Amino acid sequence: MREIAIEDGRSAFGADAANYDSARPEYPAQVYAILRERCGLKAGTQAFEIGPGTGLATRRLLEAGAAVTAIEPDMRLVTKLRENAGDPPLRIVNATFETAALQQGAFDLGVSATAFHWMDQQAALAKVATLLKPGGWWAAWWNVFGDPERDDPFHDATAHLFQASASPSYSPLFKHPFALRSEGRIADLQSAGSFEEIGFDLMHWTLVLTAGQTRALYASFSNVTTLPENERIELLDGIQNIAAAAFKDRVERQMCTPLYTARRR
């Protein structure tokens, strides 16, 4: 099975930043409600974001009035992120999180949206803790394309197309195992030794797509973008054909969004 390494994954999304930006679905509003009510997100919050990509979550943080430092290693995504951010106070650090020079103890909130699986958990959480003020909050969440608690006919109809590839967040044997392994993610936070009030929330929802939108979404996945061009086109053609013919141009993906929060001691 072809495994996508962390180093490759960090550059997997920038080749078509415009498609990545337009194809990925928004996160549920409940995520930002929890950030406000539990984690203190408000006007003036000093926040950092790991792996913002083109700014899907960044825009919501800025709309809430936060001053955001975004750490993004792919310059192609940085260009799109800067374009999307507009005028609000956004500082962009073009570096990996591991190498980014950030002021310790300077932040009220740290977040990562569908990106933290590309990190070494122990090392990354240790650095997260050094950046947060005492009492500051950490939040990580993912949009998971597949919900183990509900039938997902489109996933079942297309799973055979992905048998040859896997990434830290996806395996053909599971539906996004990393983000949904709550015991493991909570254990990571506990083992860091710097966090308390660890919380876990799971949101269930449905994403409805046309065949064209389905193709565009799958074209943004790391285990698709890293394929050779001919294999990538063949796979996307197969996905679009199944969506158009077998699902009559209306695909329902059963989604869930796990959110992990923790307070810096």
Q: For the residues of 160-191, what is the DSSP string, one character each?
A: GGGTTEEBTTBBTTBSSHHHH-HHHHHHHHHH
Give per-residue pLDDT as tens, 138-190.
999 999 998 989 999 999 999 889 865 555 655 554 455 799 999 999 999 99
Burial classification of residue 121, based on how many CB atoms lie within 10 Å of its CB (0-12 exposed, 13-18 middle, 19 or more buried) = middle
CA distances from 24 to 2, 140, 219, 264 (A): 24, 17, 10, 31
Q: State the helix-helix crossing angle for 182-192 and 121-131, rounded to 10 degrees.
A: 50
DSSP one-letter string for 75-126: HHHHHHHHHHH-SS-EEEE-S-TTT----TT-EEEEEEES-GGGS-HHHHHH
What are the distances in angstroms from CA 34 to CA 24, 114, 241?
21, 17, 39
**Can you read off the two tokens belonging to residue 4?**
């996508």
The residue among 227, 246, 243 whose CA lies nearest residue 162 is 227
CA distance linking residue 136 with residue 243, whole number of Å? 44
- One-letter amino acid of 46: Q
Total residues belonging to the chain: 265
Is 19 a residue whose pLDDT tops 50? yes
Task: Assign 3-state DSSP to the chain and report helix, strand, coil percentages, each to 5.
Answer: 40, 25, 35
Whole-number average pLDDT of the chain = 91
Q: Return d(Cα 98, Cα 78) in angstroms, integer.
A: 17
Mean pLDDT of 209-215: 98
Count Cβ atoms within 10 A of the Cβ of residue 10 and give its class: 0-12 exposed, 13-18 middle, 19 or more buried: buried
Q: What are the tens digits of pLDDT across the range 97-145?
A: 999 999 999 999 999 999 999 999 999 999 999 999 999 999 999 999 9
Alpha-carbon distance of 40 to 52, in angstroms, equals 20
pLDDT at 226: 87
**For the stretch 62-97, what's the b/e string if a residue is b when 16 or more beta carbons lie within 10 angstroms of its beta carbon?**
bebebbbbbbbbbebbbebbeebbeeeebebbeebb
d(CA 21, CA 249): 22
Going by pLDDT thresholds of 50, 70 and 90, the confidence category of residue 233 is very high
pLDDT at residue 168, rounded to an integer: 60
> By the 8 A CB rule, do 78 and 100 touch?
no
Q: How far apart (Å, rounded) are the C-alpha atoms in residues 106 and 16?
A: 34
Indicate the domain borders of the chain. 2-264
Collapsed DSSP state (helix, strand, coil) of residue 148? coil
- The percent of residues above 90 in pLDDT, for the chain, comes to 82
- How do 2-3 and 165-166 pair as beta strands? parallel
Q: Is the pTM of this model over 0.85?
A: yes
Burial bucket for residue 1 (CB in 10 Å: 0-12, 13-18, 19+): exposed
Looking at 2.60.200.20, 3.40.190.10, 3.40.50.150, 3.30.420.10, the CATH number of the domain 2-264 comes to: 3.40.50.150
Residue 248: its pLDDT value, please?
98
